[in-house]
Amino acid sequence: MHLVTIDDVAGGSPGARLRSGAVLHLGRAARSGTIESWVPRRVLDILEGGDEAIDLVRRIVDRAEEGAATDELFHRGAILAPDARLLAPVPEPRMVVAAGLAYKSHLAEMSGTPTPPHPTAFMKSAASIASPHGILPLPAQASDALDYEGELACVFGRACHAVSPEDAMACVAGFTVANDLSARDWVKPVWAATAPWEARLTWEVNVMGKQFPGFTPLGPALVTADEIEDVTALGLTTRLNGTIMQQAPIGDMIFSIAEVIAHLSRWYQFRPGDVLLTGTPAGVGVGRSPPVFLKAGDVIEVQIERIGLISTRIASPVPDTH
């Protein structure tokens, strides 16, 4: 299934993308007087409901796909246009963790950064989550070096703590597309640092440049794991104003997704709806000579085969009133 969150009420409503491209409003499609009337009100609630909730939603989607009740669904307003406004599939995850130094090609472009001995990651603010097709004003205090990082994101479907690599993928509900937008205004001090403590402090500030509101566009759908036999066989492409900037197979990752999850779960307890960004391949703006940073009017797109495409239009800075 392709689960989505429809931007129709505060917090959104759960839906599903049909094979036709139309969007099914699950709440309106549910048959009253049946167990379907208990359809969860958020995609997060569906994930927390486990297999029973997923199966319930699947029955509603399958009935819509069969077309037997199409007229009735249209009458209820349950069938929406393909361009229906969407929020991120999980608009308010409890936790967002972003893997870094994840692709061989990205390490090579970043001044020959050495291969890490184990997966690395940092937290991103859940408030940075944004819709898959939105407008992002440049932050007034960090408008000169906005960079893009196209990434595959995993969304968890069950509690995940201290799991083995063999069991890790069973905790993943599905996959979506992300852009780990980053204000690189503070990256030069990181590269110029000569002492360990100086490097640590400057890196902390650099990571803060990833926390702005809207800096994690996500979507357009959460594609359930059963839909994708081998996610590493898929290709990721990032385009800036139509020009390809990043293009790589997910399989270019240094560590497998299962290894990343297992390693991070030694500390983090992932819960349903939590998001793991799995890192970015070569082609980011700061790795180019000269660097390429986003400016007002630019459109940055990230697409992953069989999962979808997200698009963000960059707008002029909003004046800082503080």
Identify the three-state secondary structure at position 312: strand
Which among 86, 111, 130 is the end of a domain? 86
Token pair 């969860």 is found at 40
Structural domain that includes position 249: 93-318
CB 138 within 8 A of CB 300: no
Which among 39, 67, 86 is the end of a domain? 86
pLDDT at 320 over 70: no
pLDDT at 284 over 70: yes
Question: Same domain, yes or no, for 55 and 109?
Answer: no
Quick one: pLDDT band at residue 154, thresholds 50, 70, 90?
very high
DSSP 103: B
CB 11 within 8 A of CB 92: yes
Question: Same domain, yes or no, for 208 and 261?
Answer: yes
CB 145 within 8 A of CB 291: yes
Question: Same domain, yes or no, for 55 and 131?
Answer: no
Q: What does the block give as tokens for 253?
A: 């990752």
Question: Same domain, yes or no, for 80 and 113?
Answer: no
Question: Same domain, yes or no, for 61 and 144?
Answer: no
Q: What does the block give as tokens for 151?
A: 């990434």
Question: Same domain, yes or no, for 199 and 313?
Answer: yes
Question: Same domain, yes or no, for 81 and 108?
Answer: no
Q: pLDDT tens, 296-309? A: 999 999 999 999 99
Question: Same domain, yes or no, for 119 and 73?
Answer: no
Scanning the chain, the segments in alpha helix (DSSP H) are: 26-29, 43-48, 50-66, 70-75, 104-109, 165-168, 187-192, 196-208, 257-264
Question: Same domain, yes or no, for 37 and 112?
Answer: no
Average pLDDT over residues 259-278: 98
Token pair 């509101």 is found at 213
DSSP-derived pairing of the beta strands 86-87 and 79-80: unpaired
Q: pLDDT tens, 252-261? A: 999 999 999 9
Task: Report the number of distinct structural domains present in the chain.
Answer: 2
Question: Same domain, yes or no, for 187 and 46?
Answer: no
Token pair 């490097």 is found at 199
Nearest to 159 by CA among 206, 112, 94, 214: 94
Question: Residue 201 belongs to a domain with what CATH number?
Answer: 3.90.850.10
Give the list of residues 6+ apart from residue 157 with CB closer than 8 angstroms, or none.
47, 50, 54, 171, 172, 173, 174, 225, 272
Question: Same domain, yes or no, for 122 and 220?
Answer: yes
CB 100 within 8 A of CB 120: yes
Question: Of 99-108, 113-122, 128-137, 283-292, which one has max mean pLDDT?
Answer: 128-137
198 — phi, psi (to 5°)?
-60, -45
> Is the bond into 290 cis (omega within 30 degrees of 0)?
yes
Which among 86, 117, 150 is the end of a domain? 86
